[in-house]
Amino acid sequence: MKFKLIKLIIVCLVTLAVLSPVLAVFSVVWERHMDLLEIQDLAWGLNNLSAAHPKHEVANFSQGTVEKLPDASLIKQLLVKSEKYTIAHLVQWFFLFVPIGIGVIILMYDRYLIYRTAVFRQQVEMLERLWHQSIEQ
């Protein structure tokens, strides 16, 4: 049983070592893609906002000031879209750290079993010594 567990841990670690560069490149590409989509959605929202209310100036970026925005529901939609991207980032990190976490948990559990076995052996040895001492007396 223990030998099979060690084999499983070794296979998981080797697989993780082989796949970690792929995961790193994928995370960089995915982050750039999410940033691009976020910029496109925000630009689309600002264009829709300015098209819906042409009499109001939405933003004056040259002076760095922003006027009052007339429709709060569109702003809420933009905020919801930006929250979706933060959830995507959390899911990305979740899929990156779950295999590592599983490997660490298995390794820690194996170390815990070794520790418990050592404590049990010490207790058995102590009880055997006490038993031999009680027989000799």
**Token pair belonging to 115:** 């520790």
- Global pTM reads 0.42
Instruction: Give the C-alpha distances (Å, rounded to integers) separating 118 from 32, 78, 82, 112, 121.
Output: 51, 59, 53, 10, 5
Residues near 81 by beta carbon (within 8 Å), at least 6 away in sequence: 38, 41, 42, 45
Q: How confident is the model at residue 124 (pLDDT cuts 50, 70, 90)?
A: very high
Residue that has been written with the tokens 């994928």 in this structure = 26
* Residue 74 confidence (pLDDT): 60
What is the number of domains present in the chain?
A: 1
Output 133 or 14, whichever has higher pLDDT.
133
Mean pLDDT along residues 107-136: 92
**Token pair belonging to 67:** 């006027």
Domain of residue 21 covers: 2-136
Mean pLDDT along residues 70-76: 61
Whole-number Å distance between alpha carbons of 70 and 50: 10
Mean pLDDT along residues 54-67: 50
